[in-house]
């Protein structure tokens, strides 16, 4: 059966012609059609695809590669299609494979043969790379805004918790006292690095592939810099073969997203722990917890758990993209169509998690009394006792031994270090003095961590000031 050559004039029930139909005389197997189509997921690229096409058509007209009047018609037609897409009125046809061919076919339906000039000097290979980059650039900006929202929420909680002493943990064992603020500001640092990485990734997204054609460039006298300017790209891809086969930018974004998700997941885990009866460092408000269908008493930290769970997907998205690319020879290969879903998923998931986490961080009600209680146990100031001896010239290793013996004695008597008797101290080490016990007070221990970036109040306030400045608040 002859394939339909005309986009227009296809009667009811007849499949629309493929833009690549010229070489073919037989029909596509319906299974192949369903299998190779990407419009079911790449349709979300439509607005960016159209913007790319508008810039391309304007350039073709300006360079007299196509008649200026046709360029104008194309741009007018594309603008009308864009409005349809934005209103949800555009109907996508899977028989037309992908978003690019759907829009081109709609254009020709709308404006006639002039529509057939749009694809001059380009290929879907440079076109799809351009659309994805335009979409991702905007998506990164939205993610940056969400990230900023979370960082501000962390900062607000940190500012409240400057004087709330809590245990700092290693191995999930109480280690040394810190403050709630210091702990939250650690997450502030992680998310600041994520923001930096995103900005860095954006630089490499913001490069124009269009003009690479299928792979070798074009014989038409195009002006790529004009297109780049119109689309806001900072650079023009320097090698046409790389331009159509490069998906590094997608991998880089996914890697950044995966790492940000790992940070979110760790924060989610803290919230889960802190909201447990065992810790009790925060209380979850109703708006950010859910109940159990069986156990009436339950109040579950589901949003935090789901964030933790969703990190797995984004890690998967990154791995999918890496695996997708690893065996591909230059240049474009259809495998690359599979880049979209992981990329979309990574962006959607990250942004949703950032938004929920920002709300959650704002909403948790800290319980400083529970933090203080937990900080009292665990002999977390044993290091301070050792340091007191070090200040008198005792080598740290020996001081460490002595403080360890003091802890052993205190724990066998069931008392804190501060209640050790002079005789006990002497037993632990004759060089230990009663005055050294003052160093074991929690507040004093925290206050003494004055090293740059340490847990002291001054250091925490410095961190807060720096983060305020970075966030412009
Ligand atoms: N839907 C395709 C993709 O996402 C567009 C490019 C198709 N190019 C081609 N030569 N078949 O990769």
Q: Where are the alpha helices (DSSP H) in 414-472?
A: 422-428, 442-448, 457-471
332 Cα nearest atom in ligand 1: 10
Q: What is the pLDDT of residue 291?
A: 82
Answer yes or no: is pLDDT of 200 > 70: yes
Q: Is 38 in the pocket of ligand 1 (CB under 6 A)?
A: yes
Q: What is the pLDDT of residue 5?
A: 38
The answer as to CATH 3.40.50.2000 being correct for domain 125-214+234-373 is no
336 Cα nearest atom in ligand 1: 12
Q: What is the pLDDT of residue 293?
A: 83
Q: Is 125 in the pocket of ligand 1 (CB under 6 A)?
A: yes
Query: Mean pLDDT over residues 110-115, rounded?
Result: 98
Tell me the two tokens of residue 165.
């002493």
Query: Tokens 């989610």 identify what position?
Result: 268
Count CB neighbours of 185 within 10 A. 27
Q: How far is the CA of 125 from the centre of ligand 1 (A)?
A: 6
With cut-offs at 50, 70 and 90, classify the pLDDT of residue 296. confident
Nearest CA to ligand 1 atom 2: 337
98 Cα nearest atom in ligand 1: 1
Q: Return the closest-CA partner of residue 63 out of 130, 116, 111, 121.
A: 121
Q: What is the pLDDT of residue 92?
A: 98
pLDDT tens per residue across span 41-62: 999 999 999 999 999 999 999 9
Q: Is 51 in the pocket of ligand 1 (CB under 6 A)?
A: no
With cut-offs at 50, 70 and 90, classify the pLDDT of residue 467. very high
Q: Return the closest-CA partner of residue 300 out of 277, 329, 333.
A: 277
Q: Is 126 in the pocket of ligand 1 (CB under 6 A)?
A: no
Query: Over the chain, what is the mean pLDDT?
Result: 94
Q: Return the closest-CA partner of residue 132 out of 203, 42, 255.
A: 42
Answer yes or no: is pLDDT of 16 > 80: no
Q: How far is the CA of 424 from the centre of ligand 1 (A)?
A: 78
Asked if residues 267 and 353 have their Cβ atoms less than 8 Å apart, the reply is no
Residues of the chain with CATH 1.10.275.10: 32-120
Q: How far is the CA of 131 from the centre of ligand 1 (A)?
A: 11
Q: Which CATH number does 382-440 carry?
A: 1.10.40.30
With cut-offs at 50, 70 and 90, classify the pLDDT of residue 7. very low
Side-chain half-sphere CA neighbours of 248 within 13 A: 13
Q: Return the closest-CA partner of residue 353 out of 317, 309, 318.
A: 309
Point out the residues that are catalytic.
171, 292
Q: What is the DSSP letter of 365?
A: E
% of the chain residues with pLDDT over 70: 97
Residues of the chain with CATH 1.10.40.30: 382-440
Give per-residue burial for 361-375: e unless 16+ CB within 10 Å, then b: bbbbebbbebbbebb
Residues of the chain with CATH 1.20.200.10: 125-214+234-373
Q: Is 331 in the pocket of ligand 1 (CB under 6 A)?
A: no
Q: Is 108 in the pocket of ligand 1 (CB under 6 A)?
A: no
pLDDT tens per residue across span 165-177: 999 999 999 999 9
Q: Which CATH number does 32-120 carry?
A: 1.10.275.10
Q: Is 98 in the pocket of ligand 1 (CB under 6 A)?
A: yes
Nearest CA to ligand 1 atom 12: 337
pLDDT tens per residue across span 82-102: 999 999 999 999 999 999 999
Answer yes or no: is pLDDT of 292 > 90: no
Query: Mean pLDDT over residues 156-170, rounded?
Result: 98
Mutate to test the pocket of ligand 1, among 334, 338, 339 (most ligand atoms within 8 A of CB): 334
Q: Phi, psi (5° rounding) for residue 366?
A: -65, 150
Q: Is 119 in the pocket of ligand 1 (CB under 6 A)?
A: no
Give pTM, 2 decimals: 0.93
Mutate to test the pocket of ligand 1, among 102, 124, 216, 328 (most ligand atoms within 8 A of CB): 124
Helix axis angle for 302-325 and 248-274, nearest 10°, is: 160
With cut-offs at 50, 70 and 90, classify the pLDDT of residue 4. very low
With cut-offs at 50, 70 and 90, classify the pLDDT of residue 126. very high
């Amino acid at each position: 059966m002859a394939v339909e050559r005309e986009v227009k004039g296809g009667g009811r029930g007849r499949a629309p012609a493929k833009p690549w139909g010229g070489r073919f005389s037989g029909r596509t197997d319906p299974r192949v059609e369903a299998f190779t189509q990407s419009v079911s997921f790449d349709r979300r690229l439509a607005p960016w695809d159209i913007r790319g096409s508008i810039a391309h058509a304007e350039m073709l007209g300006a360079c007299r590669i196509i008649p200026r009047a046709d360029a104008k018609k194309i741009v007018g037609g594309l603008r009308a299609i864009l409005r349809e897409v934005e209103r949800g009125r555009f109907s996508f046809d899977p028989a037309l494979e992908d978003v690019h061919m759907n829009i081109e076919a709609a254009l020709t339906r709308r404006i006639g043969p002039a529509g057939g000039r749009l694809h001059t000097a380009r290929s879907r290979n440079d076109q799809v790379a351009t659309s994805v980059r335009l979409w991702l650039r905007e998506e990164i900006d939205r993610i940056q805004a969400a990230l900023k929202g979370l960082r501000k929420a962390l900062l607000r909680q940190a500012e409240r918790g400057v004087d709330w002493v809590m245990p700092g943990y290693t191995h999930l064992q109480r280690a040394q006292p810190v403050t709630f603020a210091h702990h939250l500001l650690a997450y502030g640092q992680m998310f600041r690095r994520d923001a930096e990485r995103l900005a860095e990734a954006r630089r490499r997204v913001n490069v124009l592939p269009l003009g690479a054609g299928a792979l070798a460039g074009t014989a038409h006298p195009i002006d790529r810099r004009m297109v780049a300017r119109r689309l806001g790209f900072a650079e023009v891809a320097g090698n046409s073969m790389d331009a159509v086969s490069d998906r590094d930018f997608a991998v880089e974004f996914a890697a950044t997203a995966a790492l940000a998700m790992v940070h979110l997941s760790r924060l989610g885990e803290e919230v889960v722990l802190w909201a447990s009866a065992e810790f009790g460092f925060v209380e979850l408000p109703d708006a950010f917890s859910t109940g159990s269908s069986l156990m009436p008493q339950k109040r579950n930290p589901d949003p935090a758990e789901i964030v933790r769970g969703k990190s797995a997907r984004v890690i998967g998205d990154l791995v999918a993209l890496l695996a997708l690319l690893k065996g591909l020879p230059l240049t474009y290969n259809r495998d690359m169509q599979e880049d979209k879903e992981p990329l979309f998923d990574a962006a959607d998931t990250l942004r949703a998690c950032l938004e929920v986490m920002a709300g959650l961080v704002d909403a948790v009600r800290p319980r400083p009394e529970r933090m203080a209680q937990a900080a009292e146990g665990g002999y977390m100031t044993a290091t301070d006792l050792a340091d007191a001896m070090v200040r008198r010239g005792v080598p740290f290793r020996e001081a460490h031994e002595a403080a360890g013996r003091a802890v052993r004695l205190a724990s066998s008597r069931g008392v804190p270090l501060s209640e050790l008797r002079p005789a006990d101290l002497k037993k632990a080490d004759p060089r230990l003095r009663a005055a050294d016990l003052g160093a074991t007070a929690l507040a004093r221990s925290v206050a003494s961590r004055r090293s740059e970036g340490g847990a002291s109040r001054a250091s925490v306030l410095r961190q807060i000031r720096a983060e305020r400045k970075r966030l412009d608040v």
